[in-house]
Amino acid sequence: MHIHVLSLFPDMFSGVFGSSILKKAQEKQAVSLAVTDFRAYSGNKHNQVDDYPYGGGAGMVLKPEPLFQAVEAITANSKKPRIILMCPQGERFTQAKAEELALEEELVFLCGHYEGYDERIREHLVTDEISIGDFVLTGGELGAMTVIDSVVRLLPGVLGNGESPVQDSFSTGLLEHPQYTRPADFRGLKVPDVLLSGNHANIEQWRREQSLYRTWSRRPDLLVNMDLSPAEQKLMTKWENVKNN
């Protein structure tokens, strides 16, 4: 996969792209990452990429020319890359969206600043608009980093254990079960006996129940349309009765 980011502050990505899993993913040639300062496509001697909004109002708006020309330049030899606009008005980012984007060969992220984008960018240039939550940042860079990290870790061979992304929270529809490691007894705080039993069937059942309980107690909204077994529904009824008594 190739990922290209258009930003007014490319230095923000140096540490993130040069560390941890993203660095290893590039070393394994699972992904190539590039960042371009789209001021280079401003077309004016002052490198101005924003202007006052028509009709008046506070703030400045990103002009269409720099982003259109930057995207056209970096995708000249591409097929049909996904062009992603980081925007608080966009689709709420989810694990399902990360899994969808991980199937693409090329992604282009547009990171804006100021008051917003010229609407023609939204309507005629991008294929996706993504928000990482119901809040506003000073720019799209941090949001793009979040999405890129989430997508790249799903690429084949990036994580050491191929099962890791499959068992993540949200990948199964449930939050992930509790995890424990050595020592088995830390200051009197003990690892659940079932995890030390060696009985894999019992361990898997325990993990499923723990995932279900954690989701029920923390994110019940995730269970609304989930197909649960009669035994799992009975468990939730039991937890609900305990909670109400």
Nearest by Cα to 151 from 114, 111, 100, 89: 100
Separation of first and last alpha carbons in the chain: 53
Q: Please tell me the predicted confidence (pLDDT) of residue 152.
A: 98
Q: Confirm whether 192 is a catalytic residue.
A: no
Q: Which of 65, 99, 106, 115 is labelled catalytic?
A: 115
C-alpha to C-alpha distance for 22 and 152, rounded to whole angstroms: 7
**Catalytic entry in 106, 149, 168, 232:** 168
Report the b/e string of 188-202 with b at 16+ CB within 10 A: eeeeeeebeeeeeee
Instruction: Tell me what pLDDT residue 21 has.
Output: 97
**Measured distance CA(44)–CA(48) in Å, rounded:** 7
pLDDT averaged per 10 residues, the chain (length 245): 98 98 98 98 94 91 97 95 96 97 98 90 97 95 98 95 62 89 96 97 96 96 94 96 93
> Is 192 within 8 Å of 207 (Cβ atoms)?
no
pLDDT at 170: 75
> Is 218 labeled as catalytic in the residue annotation?
no
* pLDDT recorded at residue 115: 80
Strand partners, 34: 4
Q: Is the fold of 2-152 the same as that of 172-244?
A: no
CB-based burial of residue 88 (10 Å sphere; 0-12 exposed, 13-18 middle, 19+ buried)? middle
Contact 31, 1 (CB under 8 A): yes
Q: Residue 114's pLDDT is what?
A: 81
Residue 15: closest CA among 160, 156, 159, 141? 141
Instruction: Using the structure block, give the residue that is written with the tokens 């923000």.
Output: 12
Whether residue 8 contacts residue 37, with contact meaning beta carbons closer than 8 Å, is answered with yes
CA distance 156 to 22: 13
Question: Residue ranges of the domains in the chain?
Answer: 2-152, 172-244
Q: What is the pLDDT of residue 162?
A: 63
Tell whether 143 is in a known binding site.
no
91 is catalytic: no
Quick one: which H or E segment has residue 200?
helix 200-218
Q: Residue 87 corresponds to which tokens in the numbers above?
A: 């925007």
Contacts of 235 (CB under 8 A, 6+ apart): 209, 212, 213
Correct CATH for 2-152 of 3.40.50.970, 1.10.1740.10, 3.40.1280.10, 3.40.190.10: 3.40.1280.10
Residue 112 labeled ligand binder: yes
CATH superfamily of 172-244: tRNA(m1g37)methyltransferase, domain 2 (1.10.1270.20)
93 is annotated as contributing to ligand binding: no
pLDDT of amino acid 109: 98
Backbone angles phi, psi at 113, to 5 degrees: -145, -175
* Angle formed at CA 4 by CA 103 and CA 138, multiple of 5 degrees: 110
Place of tokens 């001021």: 39
88 is catalytic: yes
Res 145: pLDDT: 98
Identify the pLDDT of residue 169.
62
pLDDT at 118: 96
